[in-house]
Amino acid sequence: MISKIINMVDRMKDAEDRWLESMFQSEPIADDGFSDRVVWRLWRRIWIRRLTLPAAMLIGGAVAIKPAMQLVLVGSRLLNAVPQELFVAPAAWISQLPIILFAGTVLVIGMLSARMLEE
Amino acid sequence: MLVAQAVSVQDTAAFGELIRRHQSQVRNFLRKLTGDLSAADDMAQDCFLHAWNKLQTFTGRGSFIGWLLKIAYTTFLQSKRKSKRYAEILDEAGYVAQTESRSYTPRQDEISDLDKFLAVLTEDERAIMVMSYACGLSHREIGDATGLPVGTVKSVIFRGKEKIRKNFDIKDHQYG
């Protein structure tokens, strides 16, 4: 008896659900260019994103070129004002550059090996 | 397959095909939620743009339409929040707000039985009932879309049905 009642309640619920489904159903909406409009907006966004950085670099470069040139000129004038003795010492280092580079490489490799051994 | 293609190579053509397949359900969902055709279509466009940005987060665990409707529902809620905030700003500025409330307001000349049913439901109930009965999502999928536990989804549906029965004096034998 109880199971019959449960079945009846289930059937009633099913009928109600089916009825609600039919009430909530509506005709499919025709695309009518909707998807094309979305894809077009998408394309526009993608291209705006792609072009923003190069455009900003171009504009920034155009704006910055004059002050940058002035900075270079000022820098070169400052270099002329620096005493010549200061350039002698670095010039002497240049001949020993391969040895310095080799020592640096050995040092880095040594440190990395030590770390690997530790791990 | 199409989703994977759209994600892997950022293929807009594949995504366009996905839009063509699902636009009807998404637009229907938002139309039923808002009662405003043009606002719903604007939201549907935004929804698909959001979907494109979030496509990589689709894991394939549930159905694609379930995932899309989740985004559509979020878009609807965001739009509602925005228009509410806009009304507040106008209010603060001393204007009488004429903004759309995004409540369910179908055109008076084309009110159907469904419109009457939807009008008695709260926003959450409307969204869940539409997802369940119009879009055919399972309770679990609705739970995923709305962020509610399955039990709550079931009780919201139960409450919605009760309201419809009560407000329109529908007896059990009248179904079908």
Q: How many CB pairs under 8 A join A and B?
A: 79
Q: What is the rounded average pLDDT of the residues A92-119?
A: 82
The arithmetic mean of pLDDT across residues A74-91, rounded, is: 75
Neighbour tally for B58: CB within 10 Å: 17
- Indicate whether B23 pLDDT > 90: yes
B138 touches chain A (CB under 8 A): no
Lowest mean pLDDT among A3-12, A44-53, B33-42: A3-12
Q: Tell me which chain B residue has its CA closest to the CA of residue A36.
A: B16
Mean pLDDT of A9-24: 74
Q: Are A36 and B12 a contacting pair, CB within 8 Å? A: no
Residue A25 to residue B15, Cβ atoms within 8 A: no
What is the residue-averaged pLDDT of chain A? 81
Asked if the Cβ–Cβ distance from A29 to B28 is below 8 Å, we say yes
**Whether pLDDT at A5 is above 70:** no
Instruction: Supply B82's token pair.
Output: 């925005």
Burial B1-30 (b: 16+ CB within 10 A, else e): eebeebbeeeebebbbbbbeebbbbbbbbb
Do B176 and A18 count as a contact with CB atoms less than 8 A apart? Answer: yes
- Prediction pTM value: 0.67
Q: How confident is the model at residue B22 (pLDDT cuts 50, 70, 90)?
A: very high
8 Å CB contact of A23 and B129: no
Helix (H) or strand (E) holding B40: helix B37-54
Q: Which residue has the tokens 């004429």?
A: B98
Minimal Cβ distance to A16: which of B16, B49, B175: B175
Mean pLDDT of B98-104: 50
Please answer yes or no on whether B19 and A38 come within 8 Å at the CB atom. Answer: yes
Share of chain B above pLDDT 70, in %: 82
HSE, CB side, 13 Å, CA atoms: give it for residue B3.
19
CA–CA dist A26, B137 (Å, integer): 15
pLDDT tens digits for A33-82?
Answer: 999 999 999 999 888 988 888 899 899 988 888 888 888 888 888 877 77
pLDDT score for B107 = 58
- The mean per-residue pLDDT over the stretch B82-105 comes to 66
CB contact under 8 A, B16 and A38: yes
pLDDT at res. A40: 94
Q: Does B20 touch chain A (CB under 8 A)?
A: yes
Contact flag B23-A35 (C-beta cutoff 8 Å): yes
User: If you average pLDDT over residues B153-165, what whole number do you get?
Assistant: 90
Task: Pick A24's closest partner by Cβ from B12, B13, B130.
Answer: B130
In whole angstroms, give the CA distance from residue B117 to residue B45.
27
| Averaged pLDDT of chain B | 83
B110 pLDDT exceeds 80? Answer: no
pLDDT of residue B127: 92
Interior CA angle at B59 toward B131 and B33, to 5°?
20
| Chain A positions with Cβ closer than 8 Å to B | 12, 15-21, 23-26, 28-31, 34-39, 41-43, 45-46
- Rounded Cα distance between A35 and B174, Å, is 40
Task: Give the containing element (helix H, strand E) for B34.
Answer: helix B12-34
The pLDDT score that the predictor gives to residue A10 is 46
DSSP state of B95: P
Rounded Cα distance, B47 and B68, in Å: 8
Q: What is the ipTM of this complex?
A: 0.73
- Partners of B136 on chain A (C-beta within 8 Å) are 21
Do residues B145 and B69 lie in contact, with contact meaning Cβ atoms separated by under 8 Å?
yes
Cβ B134–A25 below 8 Å, yes or no?
yes
Checking if the pLDDT of A6 tops 60, the result is no
Q: What is the mean pLDDT of residues B71-92?
A: 84
Tokens of A85: 């003795």
Residue of A nearest to B171 (CA): A16
Please give the DSSP secondary-structure letter assigned to residue B104. Answer: -
Say if CB B2 and CB B18 are below 8 A apart: yes
